[in-house]
Structure 1
Amino acid sequence: MATPDPMHFDALAELYERARPAYPDALWSRLRELGALRTGGRAVDLGAGTGQATGPLLRAGLEVTAVEPGERLAARLRERYPAATVQVARAEDAVLAPGSFELAVAATSIHWMKREVVLPKVHHALTAGGRFAVWRNAYGDTSVAVTPFRERIEAIVARRDALERPGPSELETDRWARELTARGHFAIELIEELRWSTDLDEQQVRGLFTTFSDWSPAEADEAAIAVRELGGLVTEHYVTPLIVLAKR
């Protein structure tokens, strides 16, 4: 049984920056409504990649510490967002002073982390009343009728050996919520699954699927060819599960 490589992304830092879609506007609206995006507030972005969450946090007026273990990803992060403080480290090893943040986020990263280490570390680093927001983009919405492109994607995935993934699957939101609160450090403040769609061409699909840790370059090419054969543009339906935790 194969296991995805968490450092897969570092070798593709420039492509990752270019190909990964932004998080939906509705996500930032929810955080703003909760009062989590306060001008002058302090946030830590765990597993920051090339700044897909760091950028919006900075634009919202927060002071941001971005923690990213990949050296190439961290370099891109520094270039894009010089206002952020960047630590090249795993979340488990990051230096986070007690009570130093009002907000912590793990955007498309919590599944790579040892939660038994990270959850108490985040709890310790948050102020009283602090929040930990966890989310990811799930590429595929099972509530929407299967499109011809998704049929092609499912056929590619069906040919593979099973993958051993750390933690619940990306759309097992309730399981994630239970796991993130099981140790008693946090209580649920909000759970919401945000649904959205985007149109992608052949080049965009090739780039995006190449960044997936469980897709080979040949499989990404096959997905891109499917777009060409289906007319050159496909509409993809995605889900972004958002879990906001309040510090106990």
Structure 2
Amino acid sequence: MTTPLHPSAATGFDQGAAAYARGRPDYPPAIVDWLREALALTPRSRVVDLGAGTGKFVPSLLATGADIVAVEPVAGMRAQFAAEYPQLTVLDGTAEAMPLADASVDAVVCATAFHWFATAAALAEIRRVLRPGGRLGLIWNVRDERVPWVTRLADLVRSYAGDTPRQADDTWRRVFPAEGFGPLQQTEFAHSHEGPAETVIVGRLLSTSFIAALPAAAREELTQRIHALIAAEPELAGSDRVAMPYRTMAYATQKIA
């Protein structure tokens, strides 16, 4: 039985798919070598982009030459994905019910997605579709809160989170160690998202699921608060371009043959 999508994802990502595509950062170039080494992706591999969203992780996967199948439960996200990558297949499915045959893929990748479906049932389904020895990769772009102004922005947004699942709360880790999988291997990359503050900061924060799901008036109030914080930060105020610092966290585990 498939767990219903959290309301923040069902509403926020469906309504905010275009904002998500504009506001979210890409992934660091170094992640391509990680995909080749940690997940063993080659042009002969078949990989599932699970919780593919609008396709933000697709360029990294395309660079490996692997055959890509995307699975995404939110209709608005699928439409954005299909418009951006008409040459790829994007299927309507969830982590607990993928429309794929048993042992049919070499790898499953969840890019800024696994926290939404970190359950034993999802891992059992991932294990089902993986071939013996297949790999699971979990990747997140995490704002680097070691930088004080990033922490202040994060605190502003966190107050709206409610019970929305988030990578930062680490509850996704509770499903590991997982039956049928080896230990998680962790790698970290430094990354940044550069551009106008309106895109890199405001657009990114407004693309957050629980923010996109807010009523318009509440979202506008938050937008004004973000602008006020930017104007008060010496490192940001009056800058044509800013750099939001990230830590890209990557985890790999292998299906036990």
- TM-score, with structure 2 as normaliser: 0.81
Q: Indicate which of 209, 217, 221 corresponds to 1:213.
A: 209
Identical aligned residues as a percent = 29
Change (3 A) 1:35 1:120: closer
1:170 is matched with 168
2:150 is matched with 150
CA contact (8 A) 1:130 1:246 kept: yes
1:45 is matched with 49
| SS across alignment from 1:92 | coil
Which runs of structure 1 show a deviation greater than 6 angstroms over 4 or more consecutive aligned residues? none
C-alpha displacement of 1:86: 1.2
C-alpha displacement of 1:24: 1.4
Residue type at the aligned position of 1:56: S
Decide which moves more: 126-135 or 77-86: 77-86
C-alpha separation between the residues in 1 aligned to 2:13 and 2:161? 21
Structure 1, unmatched stretches of 5+, are: none
Change (3 A) 1:157 1:181: closer
Decide which moves more: 95-104 or 31-40: 31-40
Q: Deviations over 1:156-210 (max 9, x none)?
A: 247x36722437x4274xx755x34333221125211222223342321221111
CA RMSD in angstroms comes to: 2.5
Q: Indicate which of 234, 239, 255 corresponds to 1:247.
A: 255
Structure 2, unmatched stretches of 5+, are: 1-5
In the alignment, structure 1 residue 185 sits paired with structure 2 residue 180: yes
C-alpha separation between the residues in 1 aligned to 2:31 and 2:242? 24
2:3 is matched with none
Change (3 A) 1:77 1:161: closer
Change (3 A) 1:42 1:154: closer
In the alignment, structure 1 residue 237 sits paired with structure 2 residue 237: no
C-alpha displacement of 1:90: 2.0
- TM-score, with structure 1 as normaliser: 0.84
CA contact (8 A) 2:138 2:252 kept: yes
Q: Deviations over 1:141-164 (max 9, x none)?
A: 23x341xx3364256247x36722
